[in-house]
RNA sequence: GGGCCUGUAGUCUAGUGGCUAUGACGCCACCUUUACAUGGUGGAGAUCAAGAGUUCGAAUCUCUUUAGGCCCACCA
């Protein structure tokens, strides 16, 4: 039997240990049950400790895993970590106070692996296990593991072979801070105030005024454009202009893309200031004149400006222009510029050799694929489609970084030919391994590729990695596509996009049947939480003050796909519910001692409750199916609190406290109803509140139900409903409520005896439950006549 | 500039055509009642952002306006 005090900490620890020992959540690869595969988001283990938003997100779909398991699915729920890539690299550099440049690549990679492992261990214990998450830890994978690297590299080789991956020397999005190429998805626009500078250029016979925000790019100026119908300037077209300070002569051309009304209506094109520069550079076959290095500094072609940063050079160039009276006007300008999403450094366009995966050629196909997937909520599909339609670059997958999956390629020193390894030799690092054969030209000297993959190259294969595509092909056949991808909405353009792309390119398949976008947390004022704003609430701090089920109750109220502000007081409701569940269970179970469940003939009022219960089961089941966790929870909660506690328990007290007054079969009926309704309630709440429901289950139900945990018991099934009894019961409750109101107004105890007079048609309807009404309202007698409640003298 | 989401009591929230608009926190009053005072019962509190339209009937559907949020584009 349950103790009087509800002690969450003891209960949590006891059952978490038990679940682990008994392997309650193990995926059974030999089972013939239908699989349900969840494509879990691998968290960055470098984050140190966990943001309440992550805890919310990870718990939100963990609830789904539990419910599916109870529904009878063989749930494949693999924990994972993303420990490959920039964040880890930067974390290690910061934590150990080193720079990747001071250390050998292999040494640096080793340090990264060691640090990741430490953090992951902590994470697993302090976060996932503490929150009662039901992973099968035997399925753990990390994105830097040999298996994941192998999948990443094989994916690359296959795409290269089928022509969907290529290497090209192109102007590429470049982060001067991280000194690497980036993909379009890694660019974040920020708003900033800048200056528009009007600069004088000489033409053959006149002066023209050009407005630019990037005067430091003058040395890279290769042309000047005006609008073809701009009467002010048409006479200039075909002539040459001289770039101030640097002296190169550049052609003046016309293009419709020029905005006549912006600035002076004359644009200079530099290699490269923005995307239009690239477009025109290609369209008009202009020369390439680079002036910025990979580090974001002025290069040796810029003379006295060499070595200056972009900012310094801008200042210096402007000062020199001013001195020569070539700077005629400066005006403030607001603009949005593309920056690196991790460091917010403005991106540059730098010509480098990179590997790309084709996306532009597959836009339509990808949108079609996305339409085969169920999006929860559906409007996020639109965001995917918009993103896909607006793509203007293929996916650049090579990064000039140290820590990541190496690109498995060598180049022949003699003829430059690309040499690829055999699939069976993967994973490998070309810096550490040599090709097995000589080049077609006969040379045996090779230059290894030093770049690594974009981390999304690996993460985009998470459904394949999770079910061990290459290690267990038979597994893969059965478990791919996955059932569900839960993820955050801010990475639709990366994780969701690339995963859909890869599944399409490799298997002409969707990667999953469903994608569900989780809840996005905001601070109490409705602003996004971030470390830089200092408004982050940490999950481990919260768990010091609240028990896990209380936290999970709050998670259960959050609606998928929408934002929720975090207010600590919302946790109070959860605590109250748990105490209520505890006490109602104590009461119920105290009357079921030595009871063995057996379906008896049911009393009408018991049919009333069971009928309502069946409707709740139906609703909750439906809700869970559509990832409407909060609705499912609310349905169960309302039933429990209102129908079961407030009304039914009060009604049933007469039978359990005064058995002598009642027939044996009425008492059997009551006990059966108590048994079923409490068991069903805790089952409906089990996915959300795994600890308290397990405690209640184990303290009594387990001996009759046999399954070793509530979490592998069967999800309740909808049985019959009883419309007539429901009506009678509802009327009883209505009258009970009026009686309570009457007693409150009279300022008497609810125990006070009364005399009740009810109209004939109500009495007829109430006939099956009249004795229950009499007992619960403490009516000494019930008369027929005009409605009246009277205090007993 | 384009697209998407949201606007319901002091606060958060349910409700996508139909009884006096849901629930929680907070507030007020009463109730020592044998599960629970971390409780129970009852109450006050909302012109459902504004306007127009469709309809017998609108928080709910349509349009316009407005406020907030998000995504994308432009970015000389």
Q: Please give the nucleotide, over all strands, whose C1' is closest to the CA of residue A279.
A: B76
* Mean pLDDT on A326-335: 89
Question: Average of pLDDT values for A611-619?
Answer: 91
| Separation between Cα atoms, residue A538 and residue A559, nearest integer Å | 21
Residues 543-562 of A with CB under 7 A from strand B: 559, 562
* Nearest CA among A217, A24, A59, A42 for reference residue A633: A59
- The closest alpha carbon to A404, from A439, A431, A382, belongs to A431
Confidence of residue A450 (pLDDT cuts 50, 70, 90): very high
Residue A221 CA and nucleotide B74 C1' are separated, in Å, by 22
pLDDT category at A69 given cuts 50, 70, 90 is: very high
Per residue in A376-401, pLDDT (tens digit) is: 988 899 999 999 998 989 999 999 98
Q: What confidence score (pLDDT) does residue A46 get?
A: 59
The beta-strand segments (E) located in A441-502 are 446-448, 452-453, 482-487
Please give the pLDDT value at position A598.
Answer: 93
Closest CA to A599 of A669, A537, A518: A669
Could you check: is the Cβ of residue A386 within 7 Å of any atom of nucleic acid strand B? yes
pLDDT of res. A565: 81
d(CA A624, CA A560): 11
Distance B74 C1' – A335 CA (angstroms) = 9
What pLDDT is stored for residue A48 in this prediction? Answer: 58
A567 is near strand B: CB distance < 7 Å? yes
Q: Which of residues 233-252 of A touch strand B (CB under 7 A)?
A: none
Question: Does any strand B atom come closer than 7 Å to the Cβ of A390?
Answer: yes
**Length A792 CA → B37 C1' (Å):** 28
DSSP A309: B
Interface ipTM: 0.92
Mean pLDDT of A50-55: 85
Show the DSSP H helices in A284-378 as ranges.
310-323, 363-371
The 3-state DSSP class for residue A747 equals coil
Residue nearest to nucleotide B38 (CA to C1'): A576
What DSSP state is assigned to residue A435?
Answer: -
State which nucleotides on strand B lie below 7 Å from a protein beta carbon. 2-6, 11-15, 23-26, 29-36, 38-43, 68-76
pLDDT, average across residues A212-218: 94
What gap in Å lies between CA A248 and CA A223, rounded to an integer? Answer: 10
Any strand B atom closer than 7 Å to A330 CB = no
What pLDDT was estimated at residue A504? 97
CA distance A508 to A502: 9
* pLDDT per position as a tens digit, A80-131: 998 877 777 778 888 888 887 788 878 888 888 888 888 888 888 888 888 9
Does nucleic acid strand B have an atom less than 7 angstroms from the CB of A188? yes
Is pLDDT at A215 greater than 70 in this prediction?
A: yes
A753 touches strand B (CB under 7 A): no
A415 touches strand B (CB under 7 A): no
* C1' of B26 to CA of A647 (Å): 26
* A268 CA – B46 C1', rounded, Å: 59
So what's the pLDDT on residue A354?
95
Question: What tens digit of pLDDT does each residue of A251-262 get?
Answer: 999 998 888 888
Work out if A734's Cβ lies within 7 angstroms of strand B: no
Provide, in whole angstroms, the distance separating residue A558's CA from nucleotide B13's C1': 10
Mean pLDDT of chain A: 91
Q: What is the pLDDT of residue A246?
A: 94
SS3 A518: coil
| pLDDT of A198 | 94
Distance A546 CA to B44 C1' (A): 32
A622 touches strand B (CB under 7 A): no
pLDDT for A47 beyond 60: no
Q: Which residues 272-301 of A interface with strand B at a CB distance below 7 A?
A: 273-276
Residue A699 has pLDDT above 70, yes or no: yes
The per-residue pLDDT for A249 is 95
Nucleotide at minimal C1' distance from the A197 CA: B76
> Å between A130 CA and B34 C1'?
38
Q: Which residue has the tokens 């609606």?
A: A559
The whole-number Å distance from A234's CA to B37's C1' is 87
In this prediction, residue A91 carries a pLDDT of 80
Please give the pLDDT value at position A422: 95
Strand B: which residues 646-685 of A lie within 7 A (CB)?
646, 649-650, 653, 657
Round to a whole number and report the distance in Å from the CA of A486 to the C1' of B4.
20
Instruction: Determine the pLDDT at residue A107.
Output: 86
The pLDDT tens digits for A526-566 are 777 877 777 888 888 888 888 899 999 999 988 888 888 88
For strand B, is any atom closer than 7 Å to the CB of A421? no
Q: Which long-range contacts (CB under 8 A, 24 or more apart) does A372-375 make?
A: A372/A510, A373/A500, A373/A510, A373/A512, A373/A513, A373/A514, A373/A515, A374/A513, A374/A514, A374/A515, A375/A514, A375/A515, A375/A517
Distance A149 CA to B75 C1' (A): 39
| Per-residue pLDDT reduced to its tens digit, A129-167 | 889 999 999 999 999 899 999 999 999 999 999 999 999
Task: Give the whole-number percent of chain A exceeding pLDDT 90.
Answer: 67
The answer to whether the beta carbon of residue A525 comes closer than 7 angstroms to any atom of strand B is: no
Residues 583-612 of A with CB under 7 A from strand B: 583-584, 586-587, 590
Backbone angles phi, psi at A147, to 5 degrees: -65, -45
């Amino acid at each position: 039997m349950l103790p009087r005090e509800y002690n969450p900490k003891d209960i949590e620890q006891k059952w978490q240990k038990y679940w682990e020992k008994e392997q309650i959540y193990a995926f059974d690869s030999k089972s013939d049950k239908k699989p349900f595969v969840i494509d879990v988001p691998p968290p960055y283990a470098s984050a140190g400790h966990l943001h309440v938003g992550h805890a919310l997100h990870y718990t939100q779909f963990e609830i789904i895993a539990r419910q599916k398991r109870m529904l009878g699915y063989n749930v494949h729920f693999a924990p994972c970590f993303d420990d490959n890539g920039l964040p880890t690299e930067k974390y290690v550099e910061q934590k150990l106070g080193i720079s990747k440049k001071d250390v050998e690549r292999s040494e640096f990679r080793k340090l990264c692996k060691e640090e990741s492992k430490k953090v992951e261990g902590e994470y697993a214990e302090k976060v996932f296990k503490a929150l009662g998450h039901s992973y099968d830890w035997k399925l753990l994978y990390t994105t830097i593991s040999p298996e994941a690297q192998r999948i990443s590299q094989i994916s690359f080789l296959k795409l290269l072979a089928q022509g969907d991956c290529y290497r090209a020397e192109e102007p590429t999005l470049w982060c001067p801070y991280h000194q690497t190429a980036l993909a379009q998805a890694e660019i974040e626009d920020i708003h900033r105030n800048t200056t528009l500078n009007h600069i004088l250029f000489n033409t053959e016979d006149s002066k023209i005024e050009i407005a630019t925000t990037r005067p430091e790019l003058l040395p890279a100026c290769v042309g000047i454009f005006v609008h073809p119908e701009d009467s002010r300037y048409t006479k200039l077209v075909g002539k040459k202009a001289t770039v101030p300070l640097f002296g190169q002569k550049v052609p003046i051309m016309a293009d419709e893309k020029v905005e006549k009304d912006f600035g002076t209506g004359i644009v200079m094109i530099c290699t490269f200031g923005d995307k239009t520069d690239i477009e025109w550079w290609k369209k008009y076959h202009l020369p390439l004149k680079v002036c910025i290095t990979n580090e974001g500094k002025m290069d040796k072609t810029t003379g006295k400006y060499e070595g200056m940063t972009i900012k310094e050079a801008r200042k210096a160039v402007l000062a020199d222009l001013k001195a020569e009276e070539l700077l005629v006007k400066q005006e403030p300008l607001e603009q949005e510029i593309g920056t690196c999403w991790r460091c917010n450094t403005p991106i540059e366009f730098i010509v480098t050799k990179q590997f790309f995966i084709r996306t532009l050629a597959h836009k339509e196909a990808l949108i079609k694929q996305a339409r085969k997937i169920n999006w929860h909520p559906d409007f996020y599909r639109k965001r995917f489609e918009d993103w896909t339609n607006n793509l203007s670059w293929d996916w650049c997958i090579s990064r000039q970084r140290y820590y990541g999956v190496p690109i498995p390629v060598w180049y022949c020193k003699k003829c430059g030919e690309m040499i690829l390894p055999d699939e069976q030799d993967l994973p490998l690092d070309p810096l550490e391994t040599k090709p097995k054969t000589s080049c077609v030209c006969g040379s045996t000297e090779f230059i290894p590729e030093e770049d690594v993959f974009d981390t999304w190259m690996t993460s985009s294969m998470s459904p394949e990695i999770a079910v061990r595509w290459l290690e267990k092909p038979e597994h893969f056949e059965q478990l791919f596509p996955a059932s569900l991808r839960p993820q955050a909405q801010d990475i639709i353009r990366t994780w969701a996009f690339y995963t859909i792309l890869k599944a399409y390119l490799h298997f002409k398949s969707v990667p999953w049947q469903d994608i569900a976008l989780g809840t996005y947390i905001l601070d109490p004022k409705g602003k996004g939480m971030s470390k830089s704003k200092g408004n982050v609430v940490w999950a481990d701090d919260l768990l010091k003050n609240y028990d896990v089920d209380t936290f999970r109750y709050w998670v259960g109220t959050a609606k998928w796909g929408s934002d929720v502000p975090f207010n600590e007081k919302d946790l109070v409701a959860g605590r109250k519910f748990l105490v209520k569940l505890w006490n109602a269970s104590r009461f119920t179970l105290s009357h079921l001692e030595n009871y063995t469940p057996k379906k008896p003939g049911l009393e009408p009022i018991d049919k009333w409750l069971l009928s309502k219960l069946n409707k709740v089961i139906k609703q909750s089941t439906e809700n869970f199916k559509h990832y409407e966790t909060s609705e499912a929870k609310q349905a169960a909660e309302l039933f429990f609190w209102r129908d079961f506690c407030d009304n039914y328990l009060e009604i049933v007290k007469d039978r359990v406290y005064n058995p002598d007054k009642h027939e044996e079969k009425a008492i059997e009926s009551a006990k059966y109803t108590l048994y079923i309704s409490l068991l069903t309630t805790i089952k409906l709440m089990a996915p959300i509140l795994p600890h308290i429901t397990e405690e209640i289950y184990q303290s009594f139900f387990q001996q009759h139900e046999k399954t070793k945990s509530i979490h592998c018991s069967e999800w309740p099934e909808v049985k019959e409903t009883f419309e007539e009894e429901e009506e009678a019961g509802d009327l009883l409750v209505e009258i009970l409520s009026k009686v309570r109101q009457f007693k409150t107004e009279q300022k008497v105890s609810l125990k006070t005896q009364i005399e009740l007079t009810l109209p004939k048609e109500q009495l007829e309807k109430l006939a099956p439950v009249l004795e229950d009404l009499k007992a619960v309202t403490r009516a000494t007698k019930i008369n027929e006549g005009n409605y009246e409640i009277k205090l007993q003298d």
